[in-house]
Structure 1
C-alpha cells in the first residue's frame, strides 16, 4: 500500500467515525447545549479530516474544498465553546460567540478563495494557525482553571483527557503548518502521520466519552441527575454523618464566608480525602460544581439580609461581601441566576415600606 493510499484509508475511517459519533450525539443530546456543540465539533472535525493538508498551499487546482476548509478552521471556536459547555454547567451561548465563529470561518474562506491563489498564502496560513493556537490556549486555561471546582469525579478525569488530546493535536498541527508555510512542499509523510494521529485521537476520545455517564459529561438536565440520585432513606450512615457535619460548618460557622475557601479546606476540616467530599457534595447534595455549592449558601444569607427591614439601608455590596462574595459583579450574576431578579429588585419586593403616621 502506498503512503497516499494509507493516508486516504485513515482519513476515511476518521470521517466515518466522526459522522457516526455526530449521529449518536444528535439522537440522544441534540436538546442539550453541550450535545449540540459536540455535534458541531464532530462535523467540523470531519471537515478537517477531509481537507487537512500540511505543506502545500490550498486550492491550487480547485475551489470546491473552500467551504469545508472554512468550517474546519472555525471548528477551533466550536472546540473552545464545547470545553466551556462541557465543564461549566452555567455556560450559555451569546450572540458574540457566533460572531467570533463567523469571523474566523470567513477569514479562512477569504484566504482559500483569494489570498492563497494570489500567492500570499504563507502570511495568511501563519495568521490562521496563530488564531488556532490562541483558542486552544484559551480552552486549556479555562478548562483547567475550573477543574478543581468540578464535583463530578468521572467528568474531572475525562475532561483532562479530551482537552489535552484535542489541544495537543491541534497545537502540533498548527505549529507544523506555521513551520513549513510557504515552502511549497507537500509533505506526504507529514500528512500521513497527521492522519494517523488524528484517527487515533478521535477513536480514543470516542472511547473515553462512551465510558463516562452521559448525564455526567453533558449535564442533560438537573432532573436527570435528581432522578438517579439515591433516596435519602438508603443513604449510608457514615456518609450522612459527614454530610451533617458539613452542613453544620455551613450553617453554624458560615465557613463559606472565608476568603479563598477550597474543597481541600473543607476536606481538612472534616478529616476526609478530597475525593470523598466531592462525592458527598455531588451524590448526596446534588451539586455538580463546588463554587455553585458555596454560592447557594452565600445567596441564602444575602436573601435573608435583603429581606430584613432593619437592613434596608445597608448597601447591597456590603451584604454581598459579608456573605463571602469578593465583588459585586459575580454576586449580581449568581443572585439573578438563582432568584430570577437582581438583589435590588429582590429587596424592593420583600421589604415593605413602613406605614406613615395615621
Structure 2
C-alpha cells in the first residue's frame, strides 16, 4: 500500500470518526442517525481494509460487514430523512437481503466456491449495491421542492451531489478493476477524495452548521405526533410585512387555494405575489410545517373529513371528494387520511354515518 493512500485514508478515517462521534452522541435516539452512523462506520472500515494484514475467517467477515451494509444503510437513512411520515416499504428489504447475501457469498462464503461462481455473486452484489444507492438518491430527489426545512434541503443536496455520487463512482470502479490491475495512483486518488469529502462534512457538521442535523432529522418515534392537530401557533415574532403575508396566505388557503391539483410552493408564491423562499420560511418557522404537502394535507383532509361526515354528501364516492379537495388519485388521499385519523376514509364515513 502506497504512502499516499495511508496518509490520506488515515486523515479521512480520523475525520469520519469525529463525525461519527458527533452523530452518535447527540442523535443516538433517532433511527435515521443510527443508519447514518452505520454508513460512516462502513466507510471507515472500507478505507481501513487495504491497510490491514491478511485476515481470514469470521474476523474478516465482521470487519467487512459494515462495508456490505453501506448502500442499504444509505437508502434507509435517506428514507427516514426525507419521508419521515411514511414507513419504509416492505419490498425494500428484499433487495437489501439479497445484496447482503450475494456480497457475503462473493467475499466470505462459508464454503469454497469456484472462480466463475464467485464472479457471478460479485457482479450480482455490485448491481444490487448500485441499485440501493440509486434508490437512496431518488429518495433525496423526491419531494425536494416540497421540503420546507432549509437545513434539510441543503443536506439533501450535499448527500445527493457529494456522497451519493462518490459511492456510485467507488462501486463502479470496484466493478471495473475487480479482474484487472489497478492503475498506479488510483488508490491514492480515492483516499484523497475520501479525505476531502470527510473534511468538508466535518467542517459543515462541527463548524459551519452545527445545528443542521437537529433541524433535519425527524423527531424520535416516541415524540407525540403533530399530524392529527394543527401545528402550534407562531413562536417567532413577525414583522409587519410577514404578518401581511401570513394573513394573505391563510385567507387564500381558507378560501380553497389548496384545492388546485398539483399545487407547488412556487405556484402558491406566484399566486400570492411573494418570493418562494419567504413563503417557505413563513410556513416552516411560523406555522410549524416541515413539508409543503403536509401543509396542504392539513386543509385537504380537514375539508374531506367534514364532507365524509356530512349526510347530505353520503351519496358522493370517496374518489370524487378526494379529487375535489386537490388529490390526483385515491392512493395519496387514503394515505394522508389514515395518517390523520388512523382509519381509511370509508371506515371514517361508516363511523360518522352509521346506516
Q: TM-score, normalization: structure 2?
A: 0.86
1:264 corresponds in structure 2 to: 266
Given the superposition, is the C-alpha separation of residues 61 and 18 from structure 1 closer, same or farther in structure 2, using an over 3 Å criterion?
closer
SS in structure 1 at match of 2:115: coil
Residues 254-289 of structure 1 show CA distances to partners (whole Å, capped at 9, x for unaligned) of 122112211111111111111111111111111111
Give 1:309-348 correspondences, 5 Å limit: 309-348=311-350
- Which of 290, 293, 300 is the matching residue for 1:291? 293
Contact kept? 2:106, 2:119, Cα under 8 Å: no
Q: Distance in 2 between matches of 1:347 and 1:162?
A: 43
Contact kept? 1:335, 1:343, Cα under 8 Å: yes
Q: Distance in 1 between matches of 2:83 and 2:250?
A: 24
2:141 corresponds in structure 1 to: 144
Deviates more, 1:331-340 or 1:135-144: 135-144
Shift of 1:99: 4.7
Q: Distance in 1 between matches of 2:159 and 2:83?
A: 15
SS in structure 2 at match of 1:330: helix
Given the superposition, is the C-alpha separation of residues 124 and 62 from structure 1 closer, same or farther in structure 2, using an over 3 Å criterion?
same
Q: Distance in 1 between matches of 2:31 and 2:287?
A: 24
Q: Distance in 1 between matches of 2:345 and 2:225?
A: 30
- Which of 20, 38, 52 is the matching residue for 1:40? 38
User: What residue ranges of structure 2 are gaps of 5+ in the alignment?
Assistant: none
Shift of 1:330: 1.1
- Which of 114, 125, 128 is the matching residue for 2:125? 128
Contact kept? 1:70, 1:106, Cα under 8 Å: no
- Which of 240, 243, 246 is the matching residue for 1:243? 246
1:102 corresponds in structure 2 to: 97
1:118 corresponds in structure 2 to: 114
2:60 corresponds in structure 1 to: 65
2:196 corresponds in structure 1 to: 200
Contact kept? 2:133, 2:168, Cα under 8 Å: yes
Q: Distance in 1 between matches of 2:339 and 2:90?
A: 19
Given the superposition, is the C-alpha separation of residues 116 and 294 from structure 1 closer, same or farther in structure 2, using an over 3 Å criterion?
farther
Shift of 1:227: 11
1:172 corresponds in structure 2 to: 169
Q: Distance in 2 between matches of 1:294 and 1:227?
A: 13
SS in structure 2 at match of 1:22: helix
Given the superposition, is the C-alpha separation of residues 224 and 7 from structure 1 closer, same or farther in structure 2, using an over 3 Å criterion?
farther
1:273 corresponds in structure 2 to: 275
Q: Distance in 1 between matches of 2:203 and 2:81?
A: 17
SS in structure 1 at match of 2:185: helix
Q: Distance in 2 between matches of 1:41 and 1:280?
A: 34
2:217 corresponds in structure 1 to: 218
Q: Distance in 1 between matches of 2:159 and 2:126?
A: 21
Residues 152-197 of structure 1 show CA distances to partners (whole Å, capped at 9, x for unaligned) of 12221231112211122112112222222211x2545211211221
Q: Distance in 2 between matches of 1:99 and 1:34?
A: 20
User: What residue ranges of structure 1 are gaps of 5+ in the alignment?
Assistant: 54-58, 354-358
